[in-house]
A and B are shown apart, each in its own frame.
Chain A
Amino acid sequence: MLNQENKELLTVENLDVHYGDLQALYNVSLQISPGSIVSIIGSNGAGKSTLLGTITGINKPTRGKITFKSQDIGSVPTHTIVAKGITMSPEGSRVFEKMSVEENLFMGAYLPNARRKRQELLKRVYGLFPVLKEKSGQLATYLSGGQRQMLAIGRALMVDPEVILCDEVSMGLAPVIVKDIYHKIREINREGMTFVLVEQDVKRSLKYSDYSYVMVKGKIVMEGPSSELPEDEVKDAFFGIHKYA
C-alpha cells in the first residue's frame, strides 16, 4: 500500500473547496503518476479550474490533502509550490501583457534553479515554438490567441517544473492550432514532463491523455485509462445525463 502511494508524483485526497458558502469541490481524489498526461474533463462550472487552482495554492481547501512527492502542500503559498516543482499555464493564458515575449520567458525562469539554466531552457522553448523566437522582441499584448497560449506553455516550461497543469489550452483557438499545441505537449511529455490537462473537448482529451477523470458539479464521476473509457459515456456524463448528475 505504502509503495503504491510513493509511486505517485501528485495525489489529491478527499478535497473539499468552498468559495464563501458555496461549495465548489466535493470529496475530490486523484493520482498523477510521473511522466503521464492526465486529463480532467468537464463542462463549464464543473470545478476543473478550482481543482487546478487548489493544487497550485491559489484556492485553499476546506478539507482534504494534497501531496506532492510525499510532501503535504495543502496550505503552502503558490510561489513555494512552484519552487517545489508544480506550475500552471492558467486559463486565458494570462501572459504579462506589457512585457516582451522574451521577458515573459525570462520571468518563467525567475527562481534561482531555473535562472541558472535560463539559456538552455530558452533554447528548448524556442525550438518547440519557433514563432516565439521570431516575435521575441514584441510585446505579448500583440500576440494572437494561439501564440499567447504557446507563450504561456513556454513560460511554464521555463520554470523547469516536474508537473505542468494546463487550464483549457484549446479555449477560443482554431482547431488546427489546438492540434499543433497538443502535439507539442505530447512531445514535451516524451522528454519526461508530467501534464495535467483540463479540457472541455472530450474526444481530444481522451486521445491525448493516458488517464482521465470526468468531473460534474464539483465531483469526480468517472475515471480510468483514457483508452478504456467509452467516449459516449464520458459525453453523457459531461452533459449531465441524469445518472451522473
Chain B
Amino acid sequence: MEVLLQLILNGILLGGLYAMIGLGMSLIFGIMGIINLAHGDLMIVSTYMSMVVAMRFSGNVFIALLITVVVMIIIGFLCQTFLINKVIDKGPEPPLLITFGLSIILQNVLLLIFGADAKNIPTRVSSENIVTTPWFSISEIYLINFVISIVVILLLSFVMKKTYFGRAIRATSGDIVASELVGVNTKRIYAYTMALAMATASIAGLLIGMTFTYSPSTGTQYLIFAFGVVVIGGMGNLVGTLLGGIILGLSQMVGSYFFGTAYQLFCGYIVLLVILTFRPQGLFAGARK
C-alpha cells in the first residue's frame, strides 16, 4: 500500500513536469492551430544549451536558464516570423511539414555536435529525498519540477487573463479578422506566441536535463508526452494542461505498479487512447469543434 501511495505521489509530481512539457505545445496548437512536430526537439536543444552554459558557469543552472530562455525566445520569434508565418495561411499541412523538417534538422545537428551518448545537466540539486515519512517520501528534484510548473502555469494564466498582450493572444485565437479590425497584428502575435512557447519549453528542457538523462533523439519521446498532455487536457487550456500532465504522470506510475515498470509508458498511452476515443476534444475543453 505504501508503494502505491508513493507511486501516486510521484505520478502527480511527475505530472507537473509533463504539464510543463505540454504547455508550449498547447499554446501553439490552441492559438495558431499548428501541430509543432519540432516541439520536443526544440526543447532538447534548450536542454543541451542549458548544459553547455551551466558547465561554463560552474554548474549555475539559474544563469543557464536565463540565457537559454532568452536565446530560445529569439529562436522562436525568428522561426515563426521567417518560416511558419510564410505558410500559415495555406492550410495545416505546410506548417506541419516545416516543423517536421525542423525536427529532423535539429536532431541531426545535435548528433553532429554532441554525439549520440546520453548526457545530463550537472547540478547541486539532488534526486535525494527532502521529505521522508513512514508512508512516503518526496525527492527534491521532483518537488522543484512540480512547483516551478505550477508557478509558470499560474503566471501564464494571469498574463492571458489580465494583460493586453494576453487578451490579444486570446482574441487572435478566437477570430483573426475581428482581431485585425481592432488593430492587432495577428502575424506578430503568432511570433510572440511561439516565443512564449519556446520560453516554457526551455524551462521544461532544463528541468528534464536535471531530472533525467537525454540524447539527441530524446525529443521525439517528449513530443509524444506533450501530445498526450495536450490531448488529455484540451488544446490551449492552461489548467487543463496541468491536469492533463498529472493524469498522464499518474497513469504511467499507477500502471507500472500493476503491470511492472516495463509497461509504464504503455499504460500512459492506453489512457491517452481511451480519452481520445471517448472525448476527442480533451477532458477539460469546452465544446470545441
Point out residues on A near B: beta carbons under 8 Å: 56-58, 77-79, 82-83, 87-88, 90, 94-99, 103, 106-108, 110-111, 114-115, 155-156, 158-159
Q: Are A107 and B171 in contact (CB under 8 A)?
A: yes
Q: How far is the CB of B168 from chain A (nearest CB, A)?
A: 6
Report the Cα distance A97→B288, complex, angstroms.
12
Binary A-proximity of B258-270 (CB < 8 A = 1, otherwise 0): 0000000000000
Q: A79-B183, A83-B183, A108-B182 are in contact. List 7 more A-B contacts (CB 8 A).
A: A77-B180, A87-B183, A94-B175, A96-B178, A97-B175, A159-B182, A159-B183
Q: Which of chain A's residues have a CB closer than 8 A to the CB of B177?
A: 58, 78, 90, 94
Report the Cα distance A87→B185, complex, angstroms.
14
Q: How far is the CB of A239 from chain B (nearest CB, A)?
A: 30
Binary A-proximity of B160-189 (CB < 8 A = 1, otherwise 0): 000010011011001101111111111000
Q: Which of chain A's residues have a CB closer than 8 A to the CB of B180?
A: 57-58, 77-79, 82
Q: How far is the CB of B78 from chain A (nearest CB, A)?
A: 20
Q: Which of chain A's residues have a CB closer than 8 A to the CB of B185?
A: 77, 79
Q: Which of chain B's residues have a CB closer than 8 A to the CB of A90?
A: 177-178, 181
Q: How far is the CB of B285 from chain A (nearest CB, A)?
A: 12
Indicate whether A97 sits within 8 Å of B181 (C-beta atoms), given known contacts A103-B167, A110-B168, A115-B164. Answer: no
Report the Cα distance A110→B174, complex, angstroms.
16
The prevalent SS among residues of B at the interface is: helix
Q: Are A98 and B181 in contact (CB under 8 A)?
A: no
Q: Are B178 and A110 in contact (CB under 8 A)?
A: no
Q: Are B170 and A96 in contact (CB under 8 A)?
A: yes
21 of the cross-chain contacts (CB-CB < 8 Å) are: A79-B185, A82-B182, A82-B183, A83-B183, A90-B177, A90-B181, A94-B175, A95-B178, A96-B175, A96-B178, A97-B174, A98-B170, A99-B171, A106-B167, A107-B168, A107-B182, A107-B184, A108-B182, A110-B164, A110-B167, A158-B182
Point out residues on B near A: beta carbons under 8 Å: 164, 167-168, 170-171, 174-175, 177-186
Contact of A155 among B170, B174, B182, B186 (CB under 8 A): B182
Interface centre among B167, B180, B182 (most CB of A within 10 A): B182
Nearest A residue (CB) for B189: A79
Q: Are A87 and B170 in contact (CB under 8 A)?
A: no
Interface centre among B175, B179, B181, B186 (most CB of A within 10 A): B181
Q: Which of chain A's residues have a CB closer than 8 A to the CB of B179?
A: 107
Q: Which of chain A's residues have a CB closer than 8 A to the CB of B174?
A: 96-99
Q: Which of chain A's residues have a CB closer than 8 A to the CB of B167?
A: 99, 103, 106-107, 110
Report the Cα distance A85→B174, complex, angstroms.
23
Indicate whether A56 sits within 8 Å of B171 (C-beta atoms), given known contacts A79-B186, A110-B164, A115-B164. Answer: no
Q: Are B181 and A111 in contact (CB under 8 A)?
A: no
Indicate whether A79 sits within 8 Å of B171 (C-beta atoms), given known contacts A90-B177, A94-B178, A96-B178. Answer: no
Q: Are B182 and A110 in contact (CB under 8 A)?
A: yes
Q: How far is the CB of B74 from chain A (nearest CB, A)?
A: 23
Report the Cα distance A31→B181, complex, angstroms.
21
Q: How far is the CB of A105 from chain B (nearest CB, A)?
A: 10
Q: Which of chain B's residues have a CB closer than 8 A to the CB of A110?
A: 164, 167-168, 182-184
Report the Cα distance A94→B164, complex, angstroms.
19
Report the Cα distance A169→B261, complex, angstroms.
62
Q: Which of chain B's residues have a CB closer than 8 A to the CB of A83?
A: 183
Q: How far is the CB of B174 from chain A (nearest CB, A)?
A: 5
Q: Are B171 and A87 in contact (CB under 8 A)?
A: no
Report the Cα distance A19→B237, complex, angstroms.
36
Q: Which of chain B's residues have a CB closer than 8 A to the CB of A108?
A: 182
Q: How far is the CB of B208 from chain A (nearest CB, A)?
A: 32
Q: Which of chain B's residues have a CB closer than 8 A to the CB of A78?
A: 177, 180-181
Nearest B residue (CB) for A93: B178
Report the Cα distance A83→B188, complex, angstroms.
15
Q: How far is the CB of B192 from chain A (nearest CB, A)?
A: 14
Q: How far is the CB of A53 from chain B (nearest CB, A)?
A: 9
Nearest B residue (CB) for A53: B177
Q: Which of chain A's residues have a CB closer than 8 A to the CB of B164?
A: 106, 110, 115
Nearest B residue (CB) for A114: B183
Q: How far is the CB of B51 from chain A (nearest CB, A)?
A: 40
Report the Cα distance A158→B182, complex, angstroms.
9
Q: Are A82 and B181 in contact (CB under 8 A)?
A: yes
Q: Which of chain B's residues have a CB closer than 8 A to the CB of A95?
A: 178
Report the Cα distance A159→B179, complex, angstroms.
11
Nearest A residue (CB) for B188: A79
Q: How far is the CB of A124 from chain B (nearest CB, A)?
A: 16
Q: Which of chain A's residues have a CB closer than 8 A to the CB of B183?
A: 79, 82-83, 87, 110-111, 114, 159
Q: Which of chain B's residues have a CB closer than 8 A to the CB of A155?
A: 182
